[in-house]
Amino acid sequence: MAAAEARPGGRRRCRRLEGEAARAVLGAADTLLFDCDGVLWRGEAALGGAAAALGRLAAAGKRLCYVTNNSSRTRQAYGEKLRRLGFPPATPRHVFGSAYCAARFLRQALPPGAAAYVLGGPALAAELREAGVPHLEPGPAALPGPAPADWARAPLDPAVRAVLVGFDEHFSYAKLCQALRYLLRGPDCLLVATNRDHRLPLEGGAAIPGTGCLVKAVETAAEREAFIVGKPNRYMFDCVASEFDIDPARTIMVGDRLDTDILMGNTCGLTTLLTLTGVTTLEEAELRKVEPTDVRKRTRQFAACPLLDRLRLSLVYSGK
């Protein structure tokens, strides 16, 4: 395995990891955590070779789990999509979406009978229902009158003790007003969000604003910072570790973003593989140095390789 070469200013240069070295990295792992969008598929099309590669990993006895910041699908829906695109069968317990992780967090954090005000979509509400978390159903909302005084008098549910922010195509000023009013009740009203991804890339170089833009709006209005359940926060990995007996030293995180997937992996002591099929490019990987949040005095390595010679993705390995 080729170690990174230091550059002026402490930057490191990517090196290609292939052949026996690549197989050794995969062979040393028991569990692989995969991001989905930009790693396994784009839209409704699987990336070439991805399904076959994961099939070979599963046949070799590897545990495959899926960790995604996307809150617009339930665990059940992700399992169905994996099956539809030809990936190895995955039960819901192998899928850890930010909607599920948010519901799990609130189930643990809220007192009995407390509810959540939700800025999100149907999948987020479905995961809350599955977890038994009372909540106000999401959907379009209108201002209750023409004047600011009317907006400040809109009815509030006395049971609400949390504001949960996910991807919400119906996000509006009316919802922002309600979220602020709930949070102004005091610090016992939690502010929780699924992720901070600020932009969602689309085909052809297009993009749309991500959940992080909505989270920032609520944080700015409330003058409070949200607890993030998704990557790079380690809470998502903790959800996986609570479900399976996982050794971080024998676990690989595979993702397409340095600032979420790779950062979470580094923070949790995992081996990390960065695909060059999504957000982060090879040039960005060469120029940027991703540090774990608990900075340790150790050399970090970056290299690139094809996965099992079948997954036609370039990968960046961040060794410990």
As annotated, the binding site for substrate includes: 231
Tell me how far CA of residue 313 lies from CA of 41, 293, 309, in angstroms: 11, 27, 9
Q: Which two tokens stand for residue 208?
A: 């749309």
Which residues does the annotation place in the binding site for Mg(2+)? 35, 37, 256
Catalytic residue among 30, 37, 261, 309: 37
Instruction: Let me know: does 127 contact 164? Beta carbons within 8 Å.
Output: no
d(C-alpha 267, C-alpha 99), whole Å: 21
Q: From its phi and psi, is residue 308 left (phi > 0), alpha (psi between -120 and 50) or beta?
A: left
Q: From its phi and psi, is residue 268 left (phi > 0), alpha (psi between -120 and 50) or beta?
A: alpha
Is 259 a catalytic site residue?
no
d(C-alpha 151, C-alpha 149), whole Å: 5
Q: Which two tokens stand for residue 250?
A: 């024998």
Catalytic residue among 30, 35, 188, 309: 35
Which residues does the annotation place in the binding site? 35, 37, 231, 256
Is 294 a catalytic site residue?
no
Q: Which residues are identified as catalytic?
A: 35, 37
